[in-house]
Structure 1
């Protein structure tokens, strides 16, 4: 019997959920050019709360032998998000944004994983966010630059200046996933957590669509 590398099993088992998230109506409209600059700003604002949680959680795992293989300052997004929001909304941007219900639940889940010191759960959320940013996120950046005339200001979140070769970085990341000594039960838990993260993403896009409709 052929045993799939964990990274491949993870990708195959979560692909449908990943596609559902990418295909959510809010993002589809934004990518097709039917969304507005305000829609994009609303998305950036929710990203701020999510990355504040995940990069705060990363500090909890400082020195963790598993997380150490994945966490790197080269991926840090929070300063870029803060700069983007200041550019998009002005110096008082913090007073203008608030987390949507799904974002609150998403953030709570990330913090719970950190409180439990569950390294596999943290890696699941880390994988879902950052590898997505290095993949589809680059296409989002190009579309937003073309659509709204951004150069680097406003899309700094998607610019990984310290990662020269995203493809190579992602390959190394997946090799590290394969090398972690998780047993079968823990691998299942990690896959389930990635599925949960994708569900949060999909539901966040639904929240954004509802907030837009209600505005």
Structure 2
């Protein structure tokens, strides 16, 4: 856990975790105040949108976790490498199989914005592994915070029984999310970084949020073009019609899929 030795602090704190929170504060506020975020919190999510969410999350976490695995011995990655406690890929695969069956990869389209994010993760995993710290922190601690609320909202909105379809939100290897988050912050704060590296990590954390905000802007443009406002609650007939609409309209598929994905991911991040 954290050292009891006192350390000098500036206004935003000298710990890396506190500095990330301070550096991304404005981005938090901007992203939280989107209409789409508020809609998700009200339970306005369809089954098709949630399927697209899962597929997007799978691609993001596949890139993140493969790069973390590949760089597990890197001095900046090793302290925050918790595959047993945090890895999301297996849970996402099971959720996707629940909704799509064994051939889910062939049935769902991943938005271009997700590809841009995964490309960034691959790039820094190869060239600047220390920057993975910013992405791992924002994603995993978000999942352990607001993501827990999202699991319940999703379960209720889609009428899902038990854990089927919402395993992504569950962390069986973490007995106490609050204590684990404290441990994670302590480990991250122990990473030795030069001042330049620290600035780059802070910039990367802000950049991760900016990716989301840019896609929110694109989503609003897409929605204004399509004029679509989905109110489906997941019944079989509407789900079939919705699936047909998404198949025949790439623009609509992209817009709604990206929007709900980022709203969900974002809400978790803002709670840590």
User: What TM-score, normalized by structure 2, do the two folds share?
Assistant: 0.72
Give the whole-Å Cα distance in 1 for the aligned partners of 2:115 and 2:75: 29
Extract unaligned runs of 5+ from structure 1: none
Report the CA distance between 1:152 and its aligned residue. Answer: 0.8
More helix per residue:
1
8 Å contact kept, 1:24–1:202: no
8 Å contact kept, 2:98–2:165: yes
Residue-pair matches, total: 214
Give the whole-Å Cα distance in 2 for the aligned partners of 1:167 and 1:198: 23
Matches within 5 A, 1:46-85: 46-73=56-83, 74-85=85-96
Report the CA distance between 1:204 and its aligned residue. Answer: 4.3
Matches within 5 A, 1:1-215: 2-3=9-10, 4=13, 5-73=15-83, 74-116=85-127, 118-150=128-160, 151-205=162-216, 210=222, 213=228, 214-215=252-253
* SS class of match (1:34): coil
Specify whether residues 78 and 14 from structure 1 end up closer, same or farther in structure 2 by C-alpha distance, changes over 3 A only.
same
Q: Which has the larger radius of gyration?
A: 2
Task: List 4+ stretches of structure 1 deviating above 6 A.
Answer: none
8 Å contact kept, 2:20–2:202: yes
Extract unaligned runs of 5+ from structure 2: 1-7, 229-251, 254-272
Kindly provide the CA deviation profile for residues 63-100 of structure 1, in whole angstroms up to 9, marking residues without a partner as x: 22221111112111001001001111222211012321
Give the whole-Å Cα distance in 1 for the aligned partners of 2:102 and 2:29: 36
8 Å contact kept, 2:45–2:157: no
